[in-house]
Amino acid sequence: MTPVADDGSPGSTGGSVVVPIESTPTLRATVTHLAESAAAGEFSAIHFVVFATWRDGDPETADREASVDRLLERVSTWAEADLADVDDVDVGDVEVVTTVVGGDEYLFGADDYVRELVAYADDNGIEHVVLDPEYTPVGNTTLLQSLEFALSRTDLVVREAPVARPTRRERLRKEATGIRFAAMFGLSLAFYLALGDPLYPFDVVTGVASAAVVAITLSRVSFDADPSPTRTPMRLLRGAVYVPALLLEILKSNLVVARVILDPRLPIEPSLNRVRVIVGSGLPVTTLANSITLTPGTLTVRARDGNLYVHSLIPWARDGLFDGSLERWTRFVFYGREAARLPTPRERDDVGIFQGPDATEEYPGARADGGSEREGAPVADGSAADADGSAADTDATGDDSDGADTTAGGDGEVTTE
């Protein structure tokens, strides 16, 4: 649409506003509210933005980008239609902009979203933010309250759109229906019967009851996207192939670590390392992080912005991490054989060492500015930035993507034990 004129066109005397959006029950009403506010002269331009839940270059980003494009097109059409319904206001008097932000890194928490939003607002001369009351940018984690708190520390003027929310009872009914309910029910029942006796009637009855309770209460918590009838079975099949491979890696690591411990001549060189992974967000990155932790000699202590921060006990474990065997297996499970052929972290030079004589970077958590750290800064003296070696962050919560648990914390950090 045509930008507003600088001389103050009719109905467009205010500044610009940015509105982060996702598909929510109140999105349509929020768009209407913004259109009415713009028609009343409060805003001259409305910027609808979607935060990317992927990082550019991740496997299967095309489907996500296509879905976001459809959402932005729908919102733009709504806004134009609402503006056209207002008397004495020309649609061209109000600029409607739609875009995607944050595609160059993974966004995990409120601080990450606010950082991207503030940068976009600064680039476009925006001073106002309006939030959809049902906005949930990280799947099913209700982030609006913490997002508002993080925004309150900026110079942006923030308000929530005054639209009616759906009742909690309606949302609970939605969470307890559909393919997500069926998937959670089936998984819960299968797990219950695997622990019990599937031929014993009492176990079957109690299993069905327990699975129903779990599915009703956790189907939307554990799934932020419907399991795909075509992709999910193939992922389960490839996952079954991956389990023996992971067990073999665990066995090899056990033998190597045991040998190093028993032979004092062999080196023990603990270090904290960074590896940037290309597996996507949500369940894939959680699977990789947990697989690394299950392998003796390595422990995933943090995940942020597409990087895994992994503590390694011996050089062999660190080399295996950089060679990316588990990363390739994870891509194979979730995206197929073609994705497994992507370059390894070492080949991409997406690795870093924070401790020891081989240190190449300063651990970003060592800074005290709480969020403005710059990754990749070389250590001047070649030593690790974290002198006491205690660089692990251990506070985090769980979330999900594509049918399982993501690891998104409120501060953008995740921890995998």
Domain-wise residue ranges, the chain: 15-160, 168-222, 261-366
pLDDT at position 116 is: 87
Q: Please, which pLDDT band fits residue 58 given cuts at 50, 70 and 90?
A: low
The model's pTM? 0.52
CATH architecture of 261-366: 2-Layer Sandwich (3.30)
Question: Measured at the alpha carbon of residue 220, what is the angle toward residues 218 and 226, in degrees to the nearest 5?
Answer: 125
Asked if 306 and 55 touch (Cβ cutoff 8 Å), the reply is yes
Between residues 350 and 245, which one has the greater pLDDT?
Answer: 245
Mean pLDDT lowest for which of 89-103, 168-182, 247-261, 399-413?
399-413
pLDDT above 80 for 139: no
Fold of 15-160: Rossmann fold (3.40.50)
362-368 long-range Cβ contacts below 8 angstroms, 24+ apart: 363/272, 363/309, 363/391, 365/302, 365/391, 365/393, 366/391
Stronger pLDDT, 117 or 374, i.e. the higher one? 117
pLDDT exceeds cutoff 50 at 180: yes
Q: Tell me how crowded residue 8 is: count the other CB atoms within 10 A of its CB.
A: 12
pLDDT band at 390 (very low <50, low <70, confident <90, very high): very low
The pLDDT value recorded for residue 296 is 92
Angle between helices 231-262 and 325-335 (to 10 degrees): 170
